[in-house]
Structure 1
Amino acid sequence: MKRFAVLLLTLAMAFCCAAPAFAARTIEVTEDVSVSDDYDWTRFQGQNLTLNVYNWGEYISNGSDDSVDVVAAFEKLTGIKVNYTTFDSNESMYAKLKSGAANYDVVIPSDYMVAKMIAEGMLAPLDYSNIPNSQNIDAVYRDPDYDPANAYTVPYMLCTTGIIYNTTMVENAPTKWADLWDEQYAGNILMFNNSRDAYAIAAFKNGTSINPETPEEVDEVVETLKAQKPLVQAYVMDEIFDKMIGGEAAIGVYYSGDAITMIDDNPDLAWVFPEEGSVLSVDCMAVPATSEHKEAAEMFINFMCEPDIGKANAEYIGYTTPMQKVWDILDEDLKYSEIAYPSEEVEAKEKVFTALSDEVNNELDVKWSEMKSYDEGGSGVVFLMLLLAMVALACFNIWRKLRKKTRNQY
């Protein structure tokens, strides 16, 4: 709520100064959804067109629990079929696009990954005349550092990282990221299974930047993650839903909107913004440079920026909307949620990711992989010994066969 304070004043002044106007005409798509009538939503009907949309898991209103089925509503309105698939981290999404293993028309990367993809020519510049609803995005989220010319992206949702914990399994509520290194939680900690978010947590603990500038900075922080590894039950992304809701772990780290969903499903769960600070991320809608249906992809993005659609998505997934028009019509419980719309004190400690240099990125990738395979208990040595034993056995069998062949010659 605090993020909109300045904008609220601006809008109020504009409203007071403007002359009354006729209400905008709308098209009813479903009982709960109407869209603006001044956009040609039907220009692709009859063309048997399919859009490939690649989004985070659990990140769109899908029709369950009496919610709006956003994809079905778009298909009904436009006649365009949507092939909707999901990923669980920026890194896995990037790797799939980079490999050319699949062709997508709309993707939803986070801010730092947007900057990387722009630099590598992976995103197509948008034609904003096809996305007039992009004007619904609040001014504070336009021309961001990750897309300074505002040429490639339209913000979708905002989220903040924090700690989710089970009140029946944790005696004293955690207050800081450093609590995730407390041995009392050994075997009961769920950690991010992606390098940037996990790195940020350790950097907050160490009091260093979440955006390292040198390989040496990376090495120091990853050592902190390595020290935590024996306490970690699992490195997870979407798997955290089942584990925390099912009481399989005491404490975990994740994103604010998903925390709201988990708490709704298990009231024993609670959330805290750690005192060291949190990461504020902006997830954006973009069109890959390889898209074969760019104009239809821009229509999908425009649809997602309709106030009724933004409302349906925000209320279903619990994330923070970047559109004042959506916030105005949200359900009151979400509208004033301290998780989705935190206090000014929490906001003051928020940090944002920036794109890393290739050298630092490569170091982080290498050290993260090494950390994940690191085992203080020595299972790596055991594995090596087993491997050597297998080689020795194979050599022995070869020797036996050669010896038998030699005997048979006499």
Structure 2
Amino acid sequence: MKLKKFSAAVLAALTVTMMSAAPVLAADDIEVNEDISVSGDYDWKRFANDHITLNVYNNGLYISDGSDESINVLSAFEELTGIKVNYTTYDSNESLYAKLKSGGVSYDVIFPSDYMVGKMAKEGMLSELNMDNIPNFAGIGETYLDRSFDPGNKYSVPYMWGTTGLIYNTTMVEEPPTKWADMWDVEYTNNVLMFNNSRDAYAIAAKTIGLSMNPQSVDEITAITDALKAQKNIVQAYVMDEVFDKMEGGEAAMAPYYAGDAITMIDENPDLAFVHPEEGVNFFIDSMCIPANAKHQEAAEMFINYLCEPDVGLANADFIGYSTPITAVWEMLDDDLKYSEIAYPSAEVLDKAEVFETLPDDINAAMDAQWSEMKSYEEGGSGWMVVALLLLAIAISAFNIWRKLRKKSRDNY
């Protein structure tokens, strides 16, 4: 499997694309509220009398929802279209996959990351999109289209993109971390958080031992698992959304997480800072997809088209801090976000970044199995503890039998 990187050439293409002028709103655009206008060339009302409820399943705090004086883009969609939205969340791509794979659930729109789009498409879990219903797809920058996980964008429309990195508390570290390997430093025992999903955790550990974020064999998976085991006694907790409370509250010295969320955490706690580790980071694209068993495909395509409207995309990018793939939205951003080295990192960072590939089944299976093994692993002889507990149980059982026999013997006299 060829290692794919987000190169400086791609960055240059991104810059050219993003610097294109934002389109001017047409006179017949529809003003949904004082903050959102949408294209008047689209029939937003065609399901208004059909009493449709869309089940939307998104990844945690990943949409402008009206909190913290943000724009509630879901309420605006309901007002615009007459379609109700039932919005629920998951905490990782793996949780999303497991929920859909188990059956018995039906969602209309989901937001998997690149490698999970590829995996779900391969397994027949996604519907092909009718781009006639998503004309705003034309506003997505070419950099984010036709990627290896979904050639031709048959199944996905880019939603946000970003990178991973290391968030740290400047009051709790003597020297600012520069490498993923700093998370293995015993000086920070019980002060390090780690991703609670296998793909991100294995990617980080792989870089510390000189491997690609896309393992090439089961033997590489085993080597990475050993690296994670070596870190386990240093880790305070394996987290996903819990990272917000822990890092904002000063409960840990450092944690790996997504750059967009780092911006949110730093806003809440100015003692926090962020670095792209020098070994290289993950470049990811989160996408909008429709599951194969969705009940309302055309209405779901309308929702996807709505999220690609410039005003809506701006509200989402501004609220969550992630990087937008929509050309017009980047032009509309405030300069502090538009030129943020966290949200839009340098060519040096992006040149070393890796995209998660859709892994072969045998490597995925090995990762899942060894991740579970690693999570239950205890360094220093957990096997001896099991033996000791077993011997103690046998001893207690023998004592109880002896006591009963002794009592019975007395009763016979």
Query: TM class, shorter-chain normalised?
Result: over 0.9
1:5 pairs with one of 5, 15, 22: 15
Structure 1 CA distance, aligned partners of 2:57 and 2:106? Answer: 10
Match of 1:87 in 2: 90
5 Å-filtered alignment, 1:257-296, equals 257-296=260-299
Structure 2 CA distance, aligned partners of 1:171 and 1:129? Answer: 55
Match of 2:356 in 1: 353
Match of 2:375 in 1: 372
Per the alignment, in what secondary structure is the counterpart of residue 289 of structure 1?
A: coil
Match of 1:234 in 2: 237
Report the Cα offset of residue 369 of structure 1. 0.9
Match of 2:149 in 1: 146
Per the alignment, in what secondary structure is the counterpart of residue 287 of structure 2?
A: strand
Q: Which amino acid aligns with 1:293?
A: H
Q: Which amino acid aligns with 1:145?
A: S
Structure 2 CA distance, aligned partners of 1:332 and 1:111? Answer: 28
2:228 pairs with one of 225, 233, 251: 225
Per the alignment, in what secondary structure is the counterpart of residue 375 of structure 1?
A: coil
Structure 2 CA distance, aligned partners of 1:393 and 1:135? Answer: 72
Per the alignment, in what secondary structure is the counterpart of residue 253 of structure 1?
A: strand
Report the Cα offset of residue 377 of structure 1. 3.6
Match of 1:43 in 2: 46
**Paired residues of 1:158 and 1:322 also in contact (CA < 8 A):** yes
Structure 2 CA distance, aligned partners of 1:407 and 1:259? Answer: 73
Residues 239-276 of structure 1, C-alpha deviation per residue, up to 9 Å, x if partnerless? 00000000000011000000000000000000000111
Per the alignment, in what secondary structure is the counterpart of residue 308 of structure 1?
A: helix
**Paired residues of 1:308 and 1:326 also in contact (CA < 8 A):** yes
Structure 2 CA distance, aligned partners of 1:46 and 1:407? Answer: 86
Structure 2 CA distance, aligned partners of 1:95 and 1:354? Answer: 19
5 Å-filtered alignment, 1:159-238, equals 159-238=162-241
Q: Which amino acid aligns with 2:178?
A: T
Alpha carbons of structure 1 residues 3 and 393: separation in structure 2 relative to 1, 3 Å: farther
1:314 pairs with one of 313, 317, 328: 317
Structure 2 CA distance, aligned partners of 1:80 and 1:46? Answer: 9
Residues 361-404 of structure 1, C-alpha deviation per residue, up to 9 Å, x if partnerless? 11111111111111014445424533554466568768988999
Identity, % of aligned pairs?
A: 62
**Paired residues of 2:111 and 2:288 also in contact (CA < 8 A):** yes
The reply to whether residue 134 of structure 1 matches residue 144 of structure 2 is: no
Match of 1:302 in 2: 305
TM-score, normalised to structure 1, is 0.92
Report the Cα offset of residue 149 of structure 1. 2.7
Residues 167-207 of structure 1, C-alpha deviation per residue, up to 9 Å, x if partnerless? 01011100111111111111100011111111111111111
**Paired residues of 2:213 and 2:356 also in contact (CA < 8 A):** yes
Residues 284-308 of structure 1, C-alpha deviation per residue, up to 9 Å, x if partnerless? 0000001011111111100100000
Match of 2:4 in 1: none
TM-score, normalised to structure 2, is 0.92
The reply to whether residue 29 of structure 1 matches residue 32 of structure 2 is: yes
Q: Which amino acid aligns with 1:239?
A: E
Alpha carbons of structure 1 residues 308 and 375: separation in structure 2 relative to 1, 3 Å: same
Match of 1:116 in 2: 119
Per the alignment, in what secondary structure is the counterpart of residue 201 of structure 1?
A: helix
Where does the alignment leave 5 or more consecutive residues of structure 2 unmatched? 1-10
Structure 1 CA distance, aligned partners of 2:30 and 2:95? Answer: 38
5 Å-filtered alignment, 1:323-334, equals 323-334=326-337
Match of 2:159 in 1: 156
Structure 2 CA distance, aligned partners of 1:69 and 1:177? Answer: 37
**Paired residues of 1:2 and 1:342 also in contact (CA < 8 A):** no
Alpha carbons of structure 1 residues 101 and 238: separation in structure 2 relative to 1, 3 Å: farther
What is the aligned residue count?
A: 403
**Paired residues of 1:2 and 1:343 also in contact (CA < 8 A):** no
Report the Cα offset of residue 159 of structure 1. 1.3
Where does the alignment leave 5 or more consecutive residues of structure 1 unmatched? 16-20
Residues 47-98 of structure 1, C-alpha deviation per residue, up to 9 Å, x if partnerless? 2211111111111111011100111111111111111111111111100100
